Structures are given as C-alpha cells and as structure tokens.
C-alpha cells in the first residue's frame, strides 16, 4: 500500500485525494479553489500560534476533498453480526505496549493526518468524532489507538480521533474537556454530526457495538469487566457515550463545573433525560468493555453540584465554555488539542466562588 507521509506532499497523496476528479479538470480546479479558501480560514483560526501552518495541516484541509470524491460511491451498508468484516467478540491486548513509531508505521498509511479515516468504497451515513479527555495516560493512549483504529475501520465508519489534553496540574475536568473537543472538532470539520465521548482506558470487546449515531443518545459501555459485567445503575451515562450534534446543542453540552473525579456523567444523564430523550444501550452480552488498570482518584461529594446543576443547564455548558488553546497538533494517528483551564474563572462565572 502506498504511504502518504507527513513530510512530503507526494503525488501519491494528491492522487489519492483527487482520483475521482481525473478527466474532469474544471471540477478539479473548483475543488482546489474551495480547499484554498478553507485553508485560509483555518490559517486565520490558528493565528496567534507560534507554529506556522504546516504541510500536515494542509493535508488535513484536503479532508473535504475526500468527501467530495465519495459522492458517486454507494452508501456504506449497516453492518451486522453476519458481515464478514465484523468479528463479533474480540480480544483486547492490554499487556504489550507498542511504541508510537510502530503504531504509525502500521496504521498511518490508511489515515489522513490528524487520525482521520474515510472508507474508499462506500459513503458513510455519519461523520464521527471520537473525543477523548486526556492527561498523563501515555501508555493507555498507545493501547487505545492500537485497538480503536482497526475496530472503527471494520465498521466502515468515517471518523477522526481527537485527544483533548488538559495542561497543568490543576484538578482534572473531564466534562469541560469533552466540550472543548466537541467545539474544536467542529471548527476543523463543520460537517461532523456524531460525537462519541470516550475514556482512554476503555476498550470495546465486541465490534458489533456500532459506533454510529441514531435517534437517541447511546450509552455504549454498559458492561465493563471491573464493574462485574453488569450495568451499575439505570441512568448511567459514563465511560463511552454517543450523541448527535443536534442532541449536544439541545442540552447545551456537558457542565463545565465538575473539577476532580465523579458526577459529570450523572449531570449529563439528567440533561438528556430532561429534554425528552431516552438513554439507549446494546444488550449486555454485546456491550462489553475492558478497563485498563490505573490508580483511581477519590470520588468527590457531588450531591449539591448535581442538584443545583438542574438549574444551570441553559447557562452552564457550551454557551459558557472558557479555555485557552495551548496547542493544536495534527499527528498521524490523532488530532491533539491541548488546553489550559482557569478553574477560578469557570466557577466564578457560575456563581460557585
């Protein structure tokens, strides 16, 4: 398989993107013009960054060209357990730890910069962002990437993986990072319409767990091994969950005030249920996940935040999101978004200090 490498804009990369335009020079020129306009827009968004717009960023902008080239291919079939592409129950190797170089050599040839994948032979029904809140889990991240890229590609999904890293050593704010990932992913790719919020230490154990949105929010990780392979409680919405863009906008995203561990998932569960949506799940014999070992933080008392949060739904979330973007890096296997959060500012905005 030919490789489109990050360091050189080879004919391979260009022909891979523009193959459907061959023989239609006018369409090629128009498409390139659209790419140029998009490139200028992204350059403006990135103004203020110390690094100039790189070749990797330029290739990232060619993502819409791939989409344009897929208009004449058939829709991707909705795979089920009878499809040969799917394996059903699968194993997860959490013991061996690959290097990033090994992963890039293996996985990058099928990806666009930023960890983006588009099936070549069919047109996906959704454009999916897998958003992973992150800090200090380098080993977990490598295992996650090794497992998730093949898992998602077997389902014929168009997707990108976005790692949202919190800078500094302040209390971790998982929910705010997921809001950041949602917003930043849409800035890069406005056509995204399905968002999967995924902990880095969780790996699915059955590829019949369809990572593609439907008419209701989906709690994907219903059956986790460390939880005794059972659903812990009926309204659980943590670990890995899936919502459309319309759903996220309807509930104003996640709350931004949950610093430290615990509570943000229950707050989001209330948000979706209070907007006449129903949390759906796969059967427990399919919705199986393994959780990688890590040191657990002490769970904080969130009762007051949860109770008061019901009054803050329309003022605490996407419309009150504050953060400083430190870095946007389009890596071969994922898009890294590093941000700094001012806890005092966030809590003061909500009258909690």
- Of 261, 273, 292, 308, which is the active-site residue? 261
Mean pLDDT, the chain, as a whole number?
83
Averaged over 330-341, what is the pLDDT? 98
Active site residue 296: yes
The answer to whether domain 82-349 has CATH 3.40.50.300 is no
Determine whether 171 is exposed, middle or buried from the number of CB atoms within 10 Å of its CB (0-12, 13-18, 19+): middle
d(C-alpha 173, C-alpha 258), whole Å: 6
Confidence of residue 150 (pLDDT cuts 50, 70, 90): very high
The two three-digit tokens of residue 346, written as one number: 């966030």
Largest CA distance in the chain: 64
- Of 46, 277, 291, 292, which is the active-site residue? 291
Torsion of Cα atoms, 62 then 68 then 73 then 78, to 10°: 80
The two three-digit tokens of residue 262, written as one number: 């615990």
Active site residue 199: yes
3-class state of residue 314 by DSSP: coil
* pLDDT value, residue 39: 47
Confidence of residue 14 (pLDDT cuts 50, 70, 90): very low
For the chain, what is the radius of gyration of the CA atoms? 20
Give whole-number Cα distances, 242 to 29, 147, 178, 192, in Å. 38, 19, 12, 13
d(C-alpha 217, C-alpha 259), whole Å: 24
Active site residue 264: yes
Give whole-number Cα distances, 149 to 66, 143, 146, 262, in Å. 19, 11, 6, 28
d(C-alpha 228, C-alpha 296), whole Å: 17
- Of 66, 207, 264, 267, which is the active-site residue? 264
Whole-model pTM: value is 0.81
3-class state of residue 197 by DSSP: strand
d(C-alpha 317, C-alpha 340), whole Å: 17
Q: Which of 334, 343, 348 is nearest to 177 (CA)?
A: 343
- Of 201, 207, 316, 338, which is the active-site residue? 201
> Is the separation of the CB atoms in 145 and 107 below 8 Å?
yes
Confidence of residue 74 (pLDDT cuts 50, 70, 90): confident
Averaged over 77-95, what is the pLDDT? 77
- Of 72, 276, 296, 301, which is the active-site residue? 296
What digits encode the pLDDT tens for the residues 170-194?
A: 999 999 999 999 999 999 999 999 9
What digits encode the pLDDT tens for the residues 285-333?
A: 999 999 998 666 655 667 888 888 888 999 999 999 999 999 999 999 9
- Of 11, 138, 293, 294, which is the active-site residue? 294
* pLDDT value, residue 262: 86
Of residues 66 and 165, more confidently modeled = 165
Active site residue 95: no
d(C-alpha 276, C-alpha 39), whole Å: 40
Averaged over 229-250, what is the pLDDT? 95
Domain segments of the chain as ranges: 1-72, 82-349
Q: Is the pLDDT of residue 11 over 80?
A: no
Of residues 89 and 298, more confidently modeled = 89
Q: Is the pLDDT of residue 122 over 80?
A: yes
Torsion of Cα atoms, 118 then 144 then 217 then 179, to 10°: -90
Confidence of residue 9 (pLDDT cuts 50, 70, 90): very low
Which residue is listed with tokens 């890294």? 336
- Of 66, 184, 199, 266, which is the active-site residue? 199
Which residue is listed with tokens 């998602």? 152
Torsion of Cα atoms, 97 then 99 then 100 then 102, to 10°: -110
d(C-alpha 230, C-alpha 212), whole Å: 23
């Amino acid at each position: 398989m030919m490789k489109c490498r990050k360091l050189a804009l080879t004919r391979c990369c260009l022909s891979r993107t523009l193959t459907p335009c061959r023989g239609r020079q006018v369409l090629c020129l128009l498409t390139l013009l659209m790419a140029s306009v998009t490139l200028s827009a992204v350059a403006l968004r990135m103004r203020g960054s110390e690094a100039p717009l790189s070749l990797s960023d330029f290739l990232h902008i060619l993502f819409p060209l791939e989409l344009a080239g897929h208009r004449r291919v058939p829709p991707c079939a909705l795979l089920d357990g009878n499809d040969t592409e799917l394996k059903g129950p699968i194993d997860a190797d959490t013991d061996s730890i690959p290097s990033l170089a090994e992963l890039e050599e293996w996985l990058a040839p099928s990806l666009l910069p930023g960890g983006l994948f588009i099936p070549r032979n069919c047109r996906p029904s959704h454009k999916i962002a897998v958003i992973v809140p992150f800090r200090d889990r380098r080993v977990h991240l490598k295992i996650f990437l090794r497992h998730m890229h093949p898992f998602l590609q077997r389902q014929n999904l168009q997707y990108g993986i976005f790692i949202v890293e919190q800078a500094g050593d302040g209390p971790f704010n998982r929910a705010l990072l997921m809001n950041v990932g949602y917003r930043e992913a849409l800035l890069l790719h406005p056509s995204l319409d399905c968002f999967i919020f995924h902990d880095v230490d969780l790996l699915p154990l059955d590829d019949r767990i369809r990572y593609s949105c439907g008419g209701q929010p989906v709690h994907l990780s219903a059956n986790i091994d460390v939880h005794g392979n059972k659903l812990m409680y009926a309204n659980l919405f943590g670990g890995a969950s899936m919502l459309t863009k319309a759903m996220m906008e309807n509930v104003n995203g996640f709350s931004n005030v949950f610093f430290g561990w615990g509570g943000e998932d229950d707050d989001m569960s209330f948000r979706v249920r209070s907007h006449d949506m129903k949390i759906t799940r796969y059967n427990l014999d399919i919705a199986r996940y393994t959780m990688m070992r890590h040191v657990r933080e002490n769970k904080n008392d969130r009762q007051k935040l949860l109770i008061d949060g019901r009054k803050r739904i329309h003022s605490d979330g996407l419309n009150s999101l504050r953060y400083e973007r430190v870095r946007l890096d389009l890596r071969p296997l994922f898009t890294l978004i590093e941000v700094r959060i001012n806890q005092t500012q966030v809590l003061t905005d909500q009258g909690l200090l």
